[in-house]
Chains A and B, each alone.
Chain A
């Protein structure tokens, strides 16, 4: 592991996290660190293990999955904590916004109660104080008419409004780390733009570190200083957003960038004005090839790719035997 990935003042330090089922490994040796106030994008397609990595950090994995490794937050190993101890950190110092607000919110509970729940649990606020703070939070996430939103049930709000309620709940206790798992994927573009601006501003005001999980490279490029690219349960490339996006070193990252950018940039189209593609499909979780996880879809794969490449570099790291631009 390189020094650049480990800021001296890491707030959240994830080391060699593995998530396994009874017979398969879904997340394989993921390590990264988050400095206070830093914004990191975790990019991956379905089956890449990006969401499971976040859930492992939060200690929220479903029962049939097991996580090993170390997650150090503020000097404490979260994976060694009891459920009770973890519960006092989760939602307080580390908070999460999920992709689907309709499933993450309780449909039988008024919005106000869901926001104040966190406040009374972690801050011991009484009803009136918690209510006042909840209104303040809903105002900050730009919900129109926050007082009546307090009395609304989730189904009475629009998708964008529900997602802003999720954000208000996550920010209730001024978390040091905010994890957002595809928070805008289900939203319309104009609503997404508003939500992104909001996350950007609030994270800035709170000074929280941000781990932003998405499949959309364009979203990350406006929001995060650093990115981690995941494929097949591993981080295959990481570095400053500008370096990774401007000169990707992993063939998977390059393929993703081409495929996403070509729809707006005609220069990236091929001679028949077709989109550049990555051949094949993403294998289902746990069915990636041995060695380099991308080798079955990679045009540059050779025999050596049957051995797992190490993620290495000088801050712009890549796990590839034949990286773009020559050996590491």
Chain B
């Protein structure tokens, strides 16, 4: 089966600010040759800590940034170096949900305008008003939300708005960059369940970028561990979590606090050592 979205030896370097007239500016290697093939209908987790390049990878996969070298292919076609109007296919097919809904939703637009904007922008066929109502219903927002503004909603609801907007053009792939890390524990579960329900109902391919290993474990069939711009390990979620091969994966897994892991020693000595 050919992958729906594929990163081929992706390299992304960023120039650092120049610090001296005598020396050339430094370079930050955000990605150092990342290869990742995502099959249709798969749910793939990309885990890594800050600075690992996971957000850069996400941005490259949706075509919000361009690679220094390597290629990104959507449905077999390269999206690198194309003009924006040639990318309409990609813009409809791959959508993104960001971490901070307050930063990604325009505070001066109504929820209805926000969610319908991709429909108008991409000149999607059909009845936009009906589509809007269906979307708001699908993400579990109360009727009448369309006329209200983002600040009138709670954090979890705002993330639902962001998900509705991403789903508006009926994408095949949804890339979610830390979509629940800003949410309260009791609300996080609701949004994760929603993502799973939608992925099932709409047969979405999901790329889930996160630092939270337990969330990735719950949500994803396959996982890639990113460390300093390289994938150090990838495989089926169960395999990677139960038999990590790479030293860094082991460190990462050992660092995750668990309720059970902490409990036994707690009345005498903390179990964390």
Residues of A within 8 A of B (CB): 39, 45-46, 159, 188-193, 196-197, 200-201, 215-225, 240-242, 245-246, 255-257, 259-265, 274-278, 281-282, 284
Contacts and interface: CB of A to CB of B under 8 A. Distances in A.
A221 B185 contact: no
Contact of B184 (A190, A215, A261): A215
Contacts of B189: 259, 262, 275-278
B263 A241 contact: yes
B169 interface: no
Classify chain B: how many residues form its interface, as a range.
35 or more
B121 interface: no
A275 B262 contact: no
B196 interface: yes
A189 B254 CA distance: 9
Given A224-B270, A241-B263, A264-B218, 13 more contacts: A45-B184, A159-B50, A188-B50, A189-B252, A196-B257, A217-B185, A218-B259, A218-B261, A221-B260, A225-B266, A245-B259, A255-B186, A275-B192
A183 to B, nearest CB: 13
Contacts of B266: 221-222, 224-225, 241-242
Contacts of B156: 281
Given A46-B184, A189-B213, A241-B266, A260 B190 contact: no
Interface of B: 49-50, 154-157, 184-190, 192-193, 196-197, 211, 213-215, 217-218, 251-252, 254-263, 265-267, 270-273
A221 B261 CA distance: 8
B211 to A, nearest CB: 6
B157 A263 contact: no
A45 B185 CA distance: 7
A257 B273 CA distance: 23
B252 A190 contact: yes
Given A190-B49, A200-B272, A263 B218 contact: yes
Most buried by A among B256, B259, B272: B259
A318 B194 CA distance: 32
